[in-house]
Amino acid sequence: MKGKLILLFVLVTFLIGIVGAVNYCCEKTTGTNPAWCQNVNSESQCDSSYNSISAFCEATSFCKTGTCINQREGTCVLDTEKVCTTKGGTWSDKSSNELQQCQLGCCLIGDQAAFVTQTSCNRMSSLYGLQINWQSNIKDELTCLASANPQTKGACVYTDSKTGTKTCKLNTKKECQDMAKTLSDVNFHSGYLCSAPELGTVCEKSQQTTCSGDNVYYVDTCGNLANIYDKDKVDNTDYWTKIQKPTCTTSDNPGNKDSTTCGACDYYSGSMCKERKVGEPQPTYGKNFCKNLDCNYKGQTYVHGESWCAYDNPDKTIFDNVPGSSDFRMICYNGEVTKEQCDPFRQKICNQTTQNGVKISGCVVNLWFGCYAQNNSKDCGNQDVRHCTWFASSDYGGLYFSSKGGLSDNSDKTHPSGICLPKYTPGLLFWDDVGKYGDVSVAKDICPTASASCGVKYKDALIGGKHQCIENCSCLDSKGAWQQSLSKICSAMGDCGIKVNYLGKDGGTAFDDQFTTITQD
């Protein structure tokens, strides 16, 4: 009994000592490193600008803790009202769990994740300039961190519920996490293949391949994709352990076209994974290879994606565009050549350029309208606004296009020194009289403007003699030179005059006397 009394005396003495040692609660202490809401044994230790009381801080109203909300940063911390407002925060006597703005979720940004408030998530998006994905349904930090970089590929190892064996699927982290909802013992191994020996699954390496995207891949015995097919690494343990980039591409064949040893295809270089057919290259392993997508057309090779111009008239001169002829755009695509007609009336023409040795073509509008109205070579040759060609009048009997319509003689040298004709002869409706067919003029509106006559003047002959030509005698050339030169102008106007169509059918007869007007003096 005596021992118990002694122990009680010591305990009472200890408690009295504690009470005697702590007499005041300072809202803020003095000194070089002041503290908030501290229990001290002397009022002199309290900053007189703030509250102080002879009691424990836990029992005071000014030291009551609540939630301090930083509206800018989106953080919520436990603090007193005074401390909170001093820092610029908004104080609430409620706990953070009761405040909507303090609820935490998973902020996915780039390939990272953070368990923060939505305000804080938006703040990070503004700081780093990245798109965010805030998921309020994720309620714990571990699940959130596991959600980072969900598209990372790797080995998803799990236990087969039917056989009890440890098996695997190559998929993304997100897919593996979804599998964990219905399967047992699911573990994701980022960057690993299912055939990795250290994973201990039933999946092993094989010599089989498959097409995935543009490339040829090895597949393991479970049917999972492995790395890109490389003949030299069919038994390489390291190549069957982790996801790796291929190293089998050579500089002289960047797309591995028709390669039997490497499956790193490149669609933009002209190759794509295809299953081998009879007569095609046989890969060392498997049945798939990088098929060459280039084309062989009329003895010439064109690369995949290349396009070029073709014409019914190979010479493609201003006088060779005969009725029914057209321009075509030829395209090499996936190993096949397709033919695209620009326009049956040559209202569109094929234009071809070359970039880095590759032909590129397109059908463009034939800007032939307005050629006949140009009266000088500069305006006629302005290719930015029209497709025309200037012909000096000296080569065509001194003729020019008269404002009254048709061709006229420029013998007095006071008129334009040439004629402006379409560079690419348009097609016309030479069989119709209805005025217009879409944007295609009928021949009766265009062809008559190229009509011309040559008046030959003769002098009466002496009795018994022949008449003597004294003017425009060149029009009587036995080879029809004047008529032939005028025929070229007529042909350049469109489907006018005497022509042979694109099938070689003759559309008229030789020139006759209607081109020559004979007058006597």
Average pLDDT, integer, range 21-37: 85
Q: What is the pLDDT of residue 20?
A: 47
DSSP 74-105: TEEEEEEHHHHHHTT-EEESS-GGG-GGG-EE
Residue 430 has pLDDT above 80, yes or no: no
Q: Which residues contact 27 (CB under 8 A, 6 or more apart)?
A: 36, 37, 46, 47, 50, 51, 52, 62, 63, 82
> Which of 49-58, 226-235, 335-344, 361-370 ranks highest by mean pLDDT?
226-235
The closest alpha carbon to 255, from 303, 218, 212, 292, belongs to: 292
Task: State residue 487's pLDDT score.
Answer: 75
What is the reported pLDDT for 521?
41
Compute the distance between CA of residue 147 and CA of residue 317 in angstroms, rounded to an integer. Answer: 67
Structural element, H or E, at residue 174:
helix 173-179
Whether the model clears a pTM of 0.85, i.e. scores above it, the answer is: no
Taking CB atoms within 8 Å and a gap of at least 24, the contacts of 484-487 are 485/395, 485/396, 485/397, 486/396, 486/397, 486/399, 486/407, 486/450, 486/452, 486/515, 487/511
Query: What digits encode the pLDDT tens for the residues 104-121?
Result: 999 988 778 889 999 999
Residues 29/37, Cβ–Cβ less than 8 Å: no
pLDDT at 233: 97
C-alpha to C-alpha distance for 51 and 56, rounded to whole angstroms: 13
Say what the pLDDT of residue 217 is. 98
- pLDDT one-digit tens code per residue, 14-28: 444 444 455 889 999
Residue 11 above 50 pLDDT? no
pLDDT at 8: 47
- pLDDT of 336 over the 50 cut: yes
> In this predicted model, what pLDDT tens digit does every residue of 465-513 receive, in sequence order?
677 887 777 677 666 666 777 777 777 788 877 777 666 666 654 444 4
Confidence at residue 446, expressed as pLDDT on a 0 to 100 scale: 76
Residue 403: what pLDDT? 54
Domain boundary assignment for the chain: 300-365, 371-520
Residue 439 has pLDDT above 70, yes or no: no
**What is the dihedral sign for C-alpha 492, 495, 498, 499?**
positive
Highest-confidence segment of 319-328, 363-372, 410-419, 442-451: 363-372
Work out the mean pLDDT of the chain and round it to a whole number: 83
pLDDT number for residue 10: 44
pLDDT value at residue 435: 47
